Amino acid sequence: MGTHETEAPMRTLGVAMIGYAFMGAAHSQGWRTAPRFCDLPVEPRMRLVCGRTESATRDAAARLGWGGWVTDWREVLERDDVDVVDICTPGDTHAEIALAALEAGKHVLCEKPLANTVDEAEEMQAAAEKAEARGVLSAVGFSYRRTPALALARRLVEEGAVGTLHHIRAQYLQDWIVDPAFPLVWRLRKDRAGSGALGDIGAHIIDLSQYLTGQRLTQVAGHLRRFVDQRPLPASATGLSGSVAEETGEVTVDDAAVFFARTDGGALATYEATRFATGRKNGMRIELNGSTGSIAFDFEAMNELHVYDATVPAAGAGFRRILATEPDHPYAGSWWPPGHGLGYEHTFVHEIADFVRDVAEGRPPTPSFADGLQVQRVLDAVERSSDADSVWTAV
């Protein structure tokens, strides 16, 4: 009979998640999967999930793989077996929960946008900086940074693939609220969401453009537009069951946002974020044009990166397609053989894995609350520009 050496048990990291809807499900999948595919120095343990309704939260805990559940997020902060608080709630609660969690000594992963206002984001960033001095770490969840093709794009830019950057061209195109009969969900209410397409999906392309290029936006000139002013209230808002109510409520956020921007590196940027691009489901696109090359990406073909090398003679020049699934491409080595593509959910696995490694090693994670604050300032500047007839506005 063979003998087996006894290994010391791996140190654990207790996790509690606040919120369990769309983002909560995505984060849960990340917490479940990261320790099984990624080499982590500590083992995350999914301790409990928190929601407002007892029956629904209990069901979510069982469905998503959490060990327990509570209906008051303050109870999470009193648990000695919770080291990390993962915030997946609407934006109007981010600041209160994050500030209390950091004060309680819990590491924090907070979904984007960081907050609903610049003031809230500034308070969160200051608290995060203060907590970091005590070894309490935090990050904001811009998951698209963890797409292998986009992480590869950042590497290529750092290596000089585009030369001097001239243009950033970024779009985020969806169509899920084109139908005017779509109900007035929380994402369409400014008091809950902070803004509409601008903050919900525009925040992603703002963060990505700054991440890929290493340049920050300094000035913007933008316009926000709402196409549907009134929408049916959800059935739950009027006590109905299984049907949409006849009553309507006011949409208080933008349906679409367009803006120009200037960067601190001298590049000119254009952005479009809309939830009214009929036929586009998750068309998150970004293109960089520079003096010696270009890079283009579309999330609807998320495993592909298109690179143009302007130093090649014109007779043989053209965009080159890179399938970002090779073992030496960022993140791809943890998964399948080359050519076996990844999906949307993998970005959250990578986000969780990076966060766990950073916390275990005491290294400040990225993107930081400071990065989230920078994006919040851009969002605010676009709104102020739109209110002032699209004049150039400082970030």
> What whole-number distance in Å separates Cα of residue 304 and Cα of residue 143?
17
* Residue found by looking up tokens 């994402």 in the block: 187
How far from chain centre, in Å, is Cα 59?
A: 26
Q: For the chain, what's the residue count?
A: 395
Query: Where in the sequence of the chain do the CATH 3.30.360.10 domains occur?
Result: 147-341+369-394
What pLDDT is stored for residue 341 in this prediction? 96
Nearest residue to 17 via CA among 105, 81, 80, 82: 82
Q: Provide the whole-model pTM.
A: 0.94
Is domain 12-143 annotated with CATH 3.40.50.720? yes
Name the CA dihedral angle for 189, 193, 199, 204, rounded to a multiple of 10 degrees: -130
Amino acid of residue 278: T
Tokens for 238? 């009027």
For domain 147-341+369-394, give its CATH number from 3.40.50.9100, 3.30.420.40, 3.40.50.1950, 3.30.360.10. Answer: 3.30.360.10
Name the CA dihedral angle for 186, 192, 194, 195, rounded to a multiple of 10 degrees: 10
What pLDDT is stored for residue 235 in this prediction? 78
Mean pLDDT by 10 residues, the chain (395 residues): 54 97 98 97 98 97 98 97 98 98 98 97 98 98 98 98 98 98 97 97 98 98 98 69 69 98 98 98 98 98 98 94 98 97 98 98 98 98 98 98
CA distances from 66 to 62, 106, 306, 364 (A): 6, 18, 40, 26
Q: C-alpha angle with apex 213: 110 to 331, nearest 5 degrees?
A: 60
Query: Where in the sequence of the chain do the CATH 3.40.50.720 domains occur?
Result: 12-143
Report residue 348: phi and psi, to 5°: -75, -35
SS3 358: helix
Cβ 223 vs Cβ 274: under 8 Å: no
